[in-house]
Amino acid sequence: MTDLKQLYDAIVAGDAKTARATTEQALKDGIEPLKLVMDHMAPAMGEVGRRFECNDYFVPELLLSARAMKSAMELLRPLLVASGAQPLARVAIGTVKGDLHDIGKNLVAAMLEGGGFEVIDLGVNVAPEQFVNTVREKNANVVALSALLTTTMPSMKTTIDALNQAGLRQQVKVIIGGAPITQKYADEIGADGYSDNAAEAVSLTKRCLGK
């Protein structure tokens, strides 16, 4: 029988190979995919976030854990979809138009996935219309925008404006982040939430949704 503490430990340690192998073995042993995510992987990402907040972990450790989480999730995602497990909410995430930085965005996506959200990752250089279409077609409840360049920050406002124009703004929460972003900027452009780190993205999103 798989020792599931190994899965938890592998994600916290950023050991992608062990995380994937343990997940594979656990599935062979008949353990429910949702149980693996909720009871072992999400708490592991929670621990990673906690260590980051206390400065025990830094960005490189966060990246390794995110990669371990991602490699285990690759095995579980199709099974979760097939089992119809209900995610907390659906988040469409992307780096805004004109911007190719995705390290922070990927971390936020991994933390959200680890926190029980379904994440639709639209990648980088995402035009406002792509966010609008995703909210419309996939019923996303949250739009998460990342920008690393001062020159691409205005794309966040353009995206919020596009959601407004499409009549979709009331049905989604918009959260934003990235090195040049501040709470003041989030307030100015009418975003629902801002965080300066990936670890806080889960609690921020839950708070925005009133969960």
Interaction between residue 109 and ligand B12 (CB under 6 A): no
Out of 139, 150, 164, 171, the only residue in the binding site for ligand B12 (CB under 6 A) is 150
**Out of 80, 201, 202, 208, which residue is the one contacting ligand B12 (CB under 6 A)?**
201
CA–CA separation, 82 and 194 (whole Å)? 33
Backbone angles phi, psi at 144, to 5 degrees: -115, 120
**Smallest distance, Å, CB 200 to ligand B12?**
7
Q: Which residues contact 38 (CB under 8 A, 6 or more apart)?
A: 116
CA dist 192 and 121 (Å) reads: 19
Print the binding letters for residues 49-78 with ligand B12: x by CB under 6 A, - otherwise.
----------x-------------------
Q: Is 114 a binder of ligand B12 (CB under 6 A)? A: no
110: number of Cβ within 10 Å: 26
- DSSP line for 115-167: TT-EEEE--SSB-HHHHHHHHHHH--SEEEEE--STTTTHHHHHHHHHHHHTT
19 CB-contact burial (10 Å; exposed 0-12 / middle 13-18 / buried 19+): buried
User: Does 182 engage in binding with ligand B12 (CB under 6 A)?
Assistant: no
* Assigned token pair, 23: 């997940």
Asked if residue 121 binds ligand B12 (CB under 6 A), the reply is no
Q: Applying CB under 6 A, does 183 fall inside the site for ligand B12? A: no
- 146 in contact with ligand B12 (CB under 6 A): yes
Out of 73, 115, 177, 192, name the contact with ligand B12 by CB under 6 A.
Answer: 177
Q: Is 191 in the site for ligand B12 (CB under 6 A)?
A: no
- Identify residues 10-49 at the interface with ligand B12 (CB under 6 A): none
Of 21, 34, 79, 103, the residue at the interface with ligand B12 (CB under 6 A) is 103
Site residues for ligand B12 per CB under 6 A:
59, 98-105, 107-108, 144-146, 148-151, 175-180, 195-198, 201, 204
